[in-house]
Structure 1
Amino acid sequence: MFLIVLGTAILLVALFILPNNAQFAGFTNIGRIVGLAFLLIGAATSMFVVVPAGTVAVKSIFGKVEGTPLYSGLNIVNPLVKVTEFDVKTQNYTMSSTHDEGNQQGDDAIRVLSADGLEVVIDLTVLYRVLPTEAPRILKEIGADYQSTIVRPISRTKIRDNAVYYDAVALYSTRRDEFQTRIFNSISKDFKSRGLILEQLLIRNIQLPTSVKASIESKISAEQEAQKMQFVLQKERQEAERKRVEAQGISDYQHIISQSLSDKQLQYEMIKAQKEIATSPNSKIIIMGNAKGAPIILGDK
């Protein structure tokens, strides 16, 4: 566009000013050639527009926006047309309490009031994209800076509007997924009406007041301790049951043995044991006998 304006200016000077000035009249033809060259080069370069992959371009001429976007690739347009590119890939907008982590500098987390009147701090990431066919309408009605105009304020407002239905502890624990689904549906509806598609909503962190957080941690610690004690008691019960069964088994064994053994059986078992000792290769002395007779002494020497 600049070359077209420059070439037109040089051509006008060469046609209407230089011929009337005797001092510069000799440069008239050169001025015409140079002006025409700039004009042609500018027109040629402005006519061909390359739209990168993942983007669409919107044409506007003298403030009027054309309704059909240009898609990725080489496009031929009017040299006077202004082309505005829109990224149609997935984009993210992060609002975080950590410095230099979000799109805004400093603490940009969302502070909301819960149903029980407590202030909760939420870190959030919004994943969205521009609907290619809606890019001309976005440029006409919103402008190219749709992140600051639409994405940021709608996300923050909808989160505050929906947080009032939940207690702080519920947001932090049991109903977090429900809250995320609710704000997703709410934001998605507003985005769609403005030409944006909400792909995903990520609640990255929820910070509770210090006193509430300490109370929750104390409760969790007490519950864990109670569970530990239940485990210990269960283990002791099982050990006591094992010992009872073991004692019962020993008692039953002794009762059976005492009922089945006789004096002759015990004498026979003793003779077998002594015979095994006598036939072993080790040195030994065996004394055999009972109260009624004289003992018999056996040895290998």
Structure 2
Amino acid sequence: MEKLPKIGIPIIIIAIILIIVLAKSAVTVGSGERGVLYETFGGGVVTDEPPLGEGFHIIAPWNKVFVYNIRQQELSEKGMSVLSSNGLEIKLDASILYQAKAETVAKLHQTRGEEYLQSVVVPAVRSATRSVVGRYTPEQLYSTKRDAVQHEIFEETKKIVEPQFIQLNAILVRDVALPATIKQAIERKLKQEQESLEYEFRLVTAHKEAERQIIEAKGKADANKILSASLTDKILQDKGIEATIKLAESTNSKVVVIGSGDSGMPIILGNQ
């Protein structure tokens, strides 16, 4: 076996060292991510410069990079147990849409770290949910006030998380689960209210139809009064003469028109 040249051994050692250094120095930040640089000998987390963007980066081998996802993420909270205003236990399911802010992700890392979801977002959502739901009755939560509850939980959670460099995009209340007996009682009440509204609507409709018929009948009666007042004996006689003349002139008529009666109208004889 041939011996390596003396100069070859240092070259191999240097090459190995370079490979290790490059492996420690090369950092790739993926799509939708940002890198937070930590300088071991330079003061720790770098917060006065923009975080590392997507792509390949070379850093000093003694430094570190913490990679954060800055895309919108979803937290699903199922079966949160909270109390209504009258002390009944309510189970609530919600989806929380959040993300780390790209421009302040270094400060997020410095103050809260990579576990910010569990240390900030989850406690904030649960605290806000308990506070908001405690202002409403089960009936309001089940029917009329769900949108208001959803909005208030969002606003209260936002006040907690946004000062801590976390962006809250939405909170969606998917389901409100009440005790079975309470839910049935509310559904019965809502059904009765709906039936009452339908009955009132039918009464209003019937009343309006009755008024319409009265107005229509009154109009007809007034019209008949006006017509009767305008029909004098002279007008009726003239109309009768006109009708008699037309009848006599008809080729299909088989009547004889002679003289006149007591009213001055012609007397019609025969109609065979």
Q: Quick one: percent identity of the two aligned structures? A: 29
CA contact (8 A) 1:65 1:136 kept: no
* Equivalent pairs, count: 264
- Scaled by the length of structure 1, what TM-score is found? 0.71
Q: Which amino acid aligns with 1:71?
A: G
1:240 to 210, 216, 221: 210
Q: Which amino acid aligns with 1:43?
A: V
Whether 1:285 aligns to 2:254 is yes
Cα deviation code 1:68-99 (max 9, x no counterpart) = 4323455331134332211223222122xxxx
Cα deviation code 1:16-73 (max 9, x no counterpart) = xxxxxxx895487655444433433443454443434532212346698422432345
Aligned CA distance change for structure 1 residues 245 and 141 (closer, same or farther; 3 Å): closer
- Scaled by the length of structure 2, what TM-score is found? 0.77
- CA distance, structure 1, for counterparts of residue 5 and residue 154 of structure 2: 68
Aligned CA distance change for structure 1 residues 286 and 229 (closer, same or farther; 3 Å): farther
Alignment map for 1:1-301 (pairs within 5 Å): 26=4, 32-44=10-22, 46-60=24-38, 65-68=44-47, 69-95=51-77, 108-280=78-250, 283-288=252-257, 295-297=268-270
Q: Aligned to 1:285, what secondary structure does the other structure show?
A: coil
Aligned CA distance change for structure 1 residues 255 and 74 (closer, same or farther; 3 Å): same
Cα deviation code 1:6-25 (max 9, x no counterpart) = xxxxxxxxxxxxxxxxx895
CA contact (8 A) 2:248 2:257 kept: no
Q: Which amino acid aligns with 1:85?
A: V
Aligned CA distance change for structure 1 residues 165 and 233 (closer, same or farther; 3 Å): closer
- CA distance, structure 1, for counterparts of residue 12 and residue 199 of structure 2: 94
- CA distance, structure 2, for counterparts of residue 144 and residue 37 of structure 1: 35
1:4 corresponding residue in structure 2: none
- CA distance, structure 1, for counterparts of residue 142 and residue 196 of structure 2: 23
Worse-matched range after superposition: 26-35 or 225-234: 26-35
- CA distance, structure 1, for counterparts of residue 111 and residue 219 of structure 2: 89
Aligned CA distance change for structure 1 residues 248 and 43 (closer, same or farther; 3 Å): same
Q: Aligned to 1:59, what secondary structure does the other structure show?
A: strand
Q: How far has the Cα of 1:112 moved from its partner?
A: 1.0
- CA distance, structure 2, for counterparts of residue 263 and residue 274 of structure 1: 16
Cα deviation code 1:216-265 (max 9, x no counterpart) = 22222222222222222222222222222233233333333433334443
Q: Which amino acid aligns with 1:40?
A: L
Q: Aligned to 2:85, what secondary structure does the other structure show?
A: coil
Q: Aligned to 1:71, what secondary structure does the other structure show?
A: coil
CA contact (8 A) 2:255 2:268 kept: no
Cα deviation code 1:187-209 (max 9, x no counterpart) = 22332343322232222322222
1:100 corresponding residue in structure 2: none
CA contact (8 A) 1:110 1:156 kept: yes
- CA distance, structure 1, for counterparts of residue 207 and residue 178 of structure 2: 41
Which structure is richer in relative contact order (CA contacts within 8 A, separation 6 or more)?
A: 2
- CA distance, structure 2, for counterparts of residue 277 and residue 190 of structure 1: 99
Worse-matched range after superposition: 263-272 or 38-47: 38-47
Q: Which runs of 5+ in 1 are unaligned?
A: 1-22, 96-107
Aligned CA distance change for structure 1 residues 26 and 48 (closer, same or farther; 3 Å): closer
Aligned CA distance change for structure 1 residues 263 and 195 (closer, same or farther; 3 Å): closer
